[in-house]
Structure 1
Amino acid sequence: MSRYIQSYMLLFLFMYIVEIKSGKLLSLDNVYQKSIAAYTKERWSKCIEYFEESLHLYKLHKTTLINCRLKCKNIPNVIVKENIEDLKIYEKIFKTSQCLQQCTDEGFDKINMYSNTSDDILSDMQQRKPYEYLHICYFQMNALPKAASAAYTFLVANPFNDAMKKNLDYYIDLPEVDINEVDDLESEDYQMLYRLGLKSYNAKQWGETIANMEESLTNYLSWENGCRAECEWQPEQEWSVEVSILVSNSLTSLLICQQNCQNQLKPLFNSGTEFIADLLNYLQICYYYLERFDDVGKAVESYLLLLPRDKNMLENKEMYESFINKSSFVERSDIVYYFKRDQYEKELLQLFHDQNGSNFEINLV
């Protein structure tokens, strides 16, 4: 069962117990507006209540959409079975649209929630804006550890916000706040598993490290797929009467957003490629100590697919080849898929950039 489906079920259960008994349709817009009003009127306990509820509703809203987008991603063609002009693409778009409409209608109906949410509020949620308010509300209610975590959570997504940096510095200097308990309240599973993997690696617990790092890799790939699916919400698109130009602009905006999912790994890693390579590095060491040499070969070869000029790994491979069968050095299929998709997207964006020059800035990691 995927992490998104698990999250969906847990959130659905939460909302069923807390809200659905009233029989009223839930609205993220309404709850968020109540949050802002409570903050403005300095009703601090209500501020906390409404902002926390809005965050739960947003996760429910996002998870419902992501599940539908992933479900409808690979709808098979039924009508057009030959490559005649672009008709296969047209059918795929039509059928995907139909699938999404049906899936989202059913999904939001099941959770008794309005599907329509304003672009401004969705943007605020993506930028973790509620935590910018929440840290003040927590502070006013003397919930200082929560205030520190809320400030840190906002800062993770907005690392150049100097005012929030000062707030966080203030909180961690307070005797009531333990810096080791200041958490990113939006932390993903793959991050937690990675930290657990580092801890077990430093303790030389090779089997436990493998379990954590492999699960972190699986969860990261799942998380990035979800992040990429979320990118299909593109509120402001440049209009053109030329269909090809309109589609090109929309697809470019989508690809840029999908590529930027990797930016959330900063400052520790510049890209998903670097993060996955780091996981593979730990894995090849642990597999070596457990004498799982076939897995060593796969980890090394997959690492070199991502970072082919890495001298240390090239030396490792040369050493391993002295006692490991060369047939073991094969690339993992999940890494090959990730690598090829990433490279193709970068090449397509570079093509668009070359055609449009300085009119369109693209950060190719």
Structure 2
Amino acid sequence: MIIMYNKLAKLIIFISIIVHCECLKFSSLDTVYKKAVDAFSKERWSECILQFEGSLHLYKVYKTINVNCRLKCKSENHNTFTGNIDDLKIFEYFLTLKDCLSQCQKEEFESVHMYNNVSDAILYNMQSKKPYEYLHLCYFEMNALPKAASAAYTYLVANSDDIAMKRNVEYYIQQPEVDVKEVTDLESEDYQILYKLGIQAYKSNNWGNTIANMEETLTDYLTWENSCRAECEHQSEQEVSPEFIITVANNILPLLICRQKCQENLKPLYDSGAELLADVLNYLQISYYHSDRFDDAAKAVASYLTIFPSDEDMLENKRMYETLVQQKSFTERTDIVHYLKRDKYEKHLLNFFLKQDNSDLNANSI
């Protein structure tokens, strides 16, 4: 699913205005981040905050443009050649995709007066939420403890093994200035917020709000994972072989690994995207039932069973719904079916690659 372009345009315009009012001057994420680190090292706390917040805004623009261009170009039909001679069709696809991607990125980055070249080291720091490790200290030094608490918590969510940051969060929530209910993950995704709202509505037996929030959770999660997968197409280190086919294959492996890692964002609650989707579908079928929307409930049940076909409780639910609706109501959601097929095929390819790598290692050791 492609990011909505009107939402993207508003986001880019809003962020670019915040980050730089000097509209004719091009912004650089690398430069702003380095200025932030320099300000921190020299204990210029207010500048530290300004520059790190600026780097976070610039990174959102950078990520949004790249993801949007990748999804947009893939959604378009680039093949004009109607024949099927050797490998030419796939070559044409990638060449025209490259042209679309380069043009899209060039136009979008120029429109917001931002450089596209960002070092891999800075990208890694942004992805691992490093700015928040600095920001919580800068906020602390400026006596902005509520902001410091949320910055520390945001970093901890992405780096759960950091013992020192756990202690920092514990310290902050004990301070009288900090309301623990206001300590939030500043990088939380929309689907996470919607899911929590859905749970709250479910506990209050508010079936209408549960349905609205859980349906949006499904849509937003699938959109988020597509965006996360598109981010994986930036590869910092590419393995090169004199053999063209080997070079291509070697770079497919890290892409597949990265795409599968997107689902790790769901831990510790869920081990996979399929588990989250099944959980949401279960809430939906219950809420649809209580709203007397039995056809929608049957669709949610059929979609759930696509994920877990042997689930006895859901099979029992299906038998109950069969007394209320016609058999044709048990149709799986196409978005769920597509997600599962893609995930299964991707895991198959990944296992195939890993088995090949192990075979090569064993052969070389003989």
- What TM-score, normalized by structure 2, do the two folds share? 0.94
Q: Does 1:42 align with 2:46?
A: no
Number of the residue aligned with 1:302: 303
Structural mapping, 1:91-240, within 5 Å: 91-240=92-241
Q: Distance in 2 between matches of 1:61 and 1:359?
A: 39
Amino acid at match of 2:106: D
Separation in 1, partners of 2:310, 2:212 = 28
- Contact in 1 for aligned 2:78/2:97 (Cα 8 Å): no
CA contact (8 A) 2:109 2:116 kept: yes
Q: Give yes or no for the alignment of 1:74 onto 2:57.
A: no
In the superposition, relative to structure 1, how do residues 207 and 356 fare at CA in structure 2: closer, same or farther (>3 Å)?
A: same
- Identical counterparts, % of pairs: 57
**2:171 partner amino acid:** Y
Distance between the aligned counterparts of 1:8 and 1:182, measured in 2? 30
Q: Trace 1:331-342 onto structure 2 (pairs within 5 A).
A: 331-342=332-343
Q: Deviations over 1:244-296 (max 9, x none)?
A: 11111111111111111110011111111111111100000011111111111
Q: Does 1:278 align with 2:279?
A: yes
- Structure 1 residue 305, shift from structure 2 partner: 0.7
Residue 157 of structure 1, CA deviation: 1.0
The alpha-carbon deviation at position 2 of structure 1 amounts to 3.6
For 1:182 and 1:18, how far apart are their aligned partners in 2? 25
Deviation at 1:320, TM superposition (A): 1.7
Alignment-derived partner of residue 13 in structure 2: 12
Distance 1:147 1:250 in 2: 40
**1:44-91 residue CA offsets vs partner (Å, 9 max, x unmatched):** 111101000000000011101111001101332444323322221111
* CA distance in 2 between partners of 1:323 and 1:216 (Å): 27
- Given that 1:75 and 1:95 are in contact with CA atoms closer than 8 Å, whether structure 2 keeps it comes out as no
Query: How many residue pairs are counted as aligned between the two chains?
Result: 360
Measure, in 2, the Cα distance between the counterparts of 1:155 and 1:311: 38
Instruction: Provide the C-alpha distance between the structure 2 equivalents of 1:8 and 1:248, rounded to a whole number of angstroms.
Output: 36
Task: Extract unaligned runs of 5+ from structure 2.
Answer: 362-366
Q: Deviations over 1:96-138 (max 9, x none)?
A: 1000000000000100111111110011101101001111111
Deviates more, 1:251-260 or 1:99-108: 251-260
Q: Secondary structure at the match of 2:260?
A: helix
- One-letter amino acid matched to 2:44: R
The two structures, once aligned, show a CA RMSD in angstroms of 1.7
Matches within 5 A, 1:254-265: 254-265=255-266
Specify whether residues 71 and 340 from structure 1 end up closer, same or farther in structure 2 by C-alpha distance, changes over 3 A only: same
Q: Following TM superposition, by how much is the alpha carbon of 1:17 offset from its aligned partner in structure 2, in angstroms?
A: 5.6
Deviates more, 1:289-298 or 1:131-140: 289-298
CA distance in 1, matches of 2:310, 2:25: 59
Mapped to 2, the partners of 1:255 and 1:172 lie a distance apart of 39
**For residues 170 and 8 of structure 1, do their structure 2 counterparts lie closer, same or farther at Cα, with a shift above 3 Å needed?**
farther
Q: Secondary structure of 1:21's partner?
A: coil
Structure 1 spans left out of the alignment, 5+ residues: 361-365
Distance in 2 (CA, whole Å) between partners of 1:33 and 1:17 is: 19
Residues 229-254 of structure 1, C-alpha deviations (whole Å, 9 max, x = no match): 11111101222111111111111111
